[in-house]
Structure 1
Amino acid sequence: MTASASTPLLALNDVVAGYGNLTALHGINLTVNKGEVIALLGANGAGKSTTLRVISGLITPKSGSLTWKGQAIGGMQPGRILKLGISHCPEERHVWPEMTVEENIELGGYLLNAKSELERRKDLAFQRFPRLKERARQLAGTLSGGEQQMLAIARALMSEPELLILDEPSLGLSPLMAQEVFKVVSELNAHGVSILVVEQNVHNALSVAHRAYVLETGNVIAEKDSASLLNDPELLNAYLGG
């Protein structure tokens, strides 16, 4: 199916999903348009990470529809979803600690057949993240938390996604390093990458997002542009801890 100009890049309609008999999402509706940064906000247990896992194919929805450029992708295998242009950078980074920085980045290109293309994308990653180039031969497990987060993002970008999904990119980082991570998010978006980010630090997320969805116990309770949400103290205090 060919997407029209008005078709969202990604759309979730009444998506219900969970783990075994536990339902974590109770009919989620969400869209990401081309060129947008969307923040997914809410307290622990609200269903944010589950939503991301459904999108990337790690969880099959029980009901509802999930489309990418108008094409149904609900229940599709993660590898196929990655090939379509969606890349998931998971919570807590999950770098391979006993492998080098360079080897971790190369793992992000595992679907590539041509070595020349792998090298091109790896060179681009090192241009984008000069600190990683300096540490290319260093074991990933010896990097700082912020450097590991940069590595996880660089690895996720090796598939050259149209949509990058980030799950808690500033988790455990110093305020300064968190700012650096979100600077990278803004730069990626400026280069045409659409981004869906789950983030506990509301102000960090809204500093880069165009719109935000607020989740509570598996339901979307609000959808606003970032400026409107920042100016809604009642909503911030009630659901996002101020």
Structure 2
Amino acid sequence: MSVINTEAEVLLDLKDVVAGYGNLTALHGVSLNVKQGEVVALLGANGAGKSTTLRTISGLIKPSAGSLRWKGASIVGNAPEKILRLGVSHCPEERHVWPEMTVAENVELGGYLLKSKTELQRRKDIAFHRFPRLKERAGQLAGTLSGGEQQMLAIARALMSEPTLLVLDEPSLGLSPKMAFEVFDVVREINSHGVSILLVEQNVHNALSVASRAYVLETGRVIAEKSSESLLNDPDLLSAYLGG
């Protein structure tokens, strides 16, 4: 579990964000922040608005109201590519690797903004050092990997932009407990190198094992913000909103 640093710089700050899809409003005034070096969990039942929050942060959805700031500057209306350049990388739910491309080609896609082939190779070398299993399978088609390996690949690809903030959506979805444990070990390792992480995760105990604090969403509203330790010691809240 990462430690809360009250003096750290606020990287990401959402205030009263309203967003949705067409006429459907999914977020009703969401406020949250992530500080430098933190792991923050975003928890809630299916349909609570967790993934919509992440898509709004990464520019895939434009909010209809509220403010969204990165290091103090508004990023409302910024294209996803610009937000990526600022240092926010989104690793989506269900991984979305390209099955007919090799592992190496999938990793390289994460560096598509890079102009230098030397820099692309340097970052790819780092990715393969961090994920030796992917290095072993570099020439293998991504679609032939196990679910856990595909998740590792999706994270490796997201890290190719060397983000300040990694936005992770359901990294353990569909994985065995053993593989989920490995994925969360990777999350800890990434954070230990100074990368801040905003994490959506259905498994509350996995999420709180790495996060310093968490926000709980219900039907597009933040209903609680607590340290991970406080949340783990609040059985009524866990049972009412997070399924125990």
Same fold? TM cut 0.5: yes
Q: Please, which of 119, 122, 128 is the counterpart of residue 121 of structure 2?
A: 119
SS in 1 for 2:94: coil
Distance in 2, Cα, partners of 1:162 & 1:233: 33
CA distance in 1, matches of 2:89, 2:49: 19
**CA distance in structure 1 between the aligned counterparts of 2:155 and 2:201, rounded to whole angstroms:** 15
1:61 aligns with 2:63: yes
Q: Which residue of 1 aligns with 2:112?
A: 110
Distance change (3 Å), C-alpha of 1:190 and 1:97: same
Aligned residue for 1:195?
197
Distance 1:157 1:191 in 2: 12
Q: Are the equivalent residues in 2 in contact too, given 1:216–1:239 (CA < 8 A)?
A: yes
The CA deviation at 1:7 is: 4.6
Q: Which runs of 5+ in 1 are unaligned?
A: none
In the alignment, structure 2 segments of 5+ residues that lack a partner are 1-6
| 8 Å Cα contact 1:27-1:219 kept in structure 2 | yes
Please say if 1:141 is aligned against 2:136.
no
Match of 2:33 in 1: 31
CA contact (8 A) 2:108 2:120 kept: yes
- CA deviations 1:169-220 (Å, max 9, x no partner) are 0000000000000000000000000000000000000000001000000000
4+ runs deviating over 3 angstroms: none
1: CA distance, partners of 2:90 / 2:129: 21
Is 1:76 aligned with 2:78?
Answer: yes
Deviation at 1:75, TM superposition (A): 1.5
| Superposition map of 1:1-242 within 5 A | 7-242=9-244
Query: TM-score if structure 2 supplies the norm length?
Result: 0.97
* One-letter amino acid matched to 2:147: G
Q: 1:34 to 1:99 in 2, by over 3 A?
A: same
> How many residue pairs end up in the alignment?
238
TM-score (norm 1): 0.97
For residues 231 and 46 of structure 1, the distance between their equivalents in structure 2, rounded to whole angstroms, comes to: 22
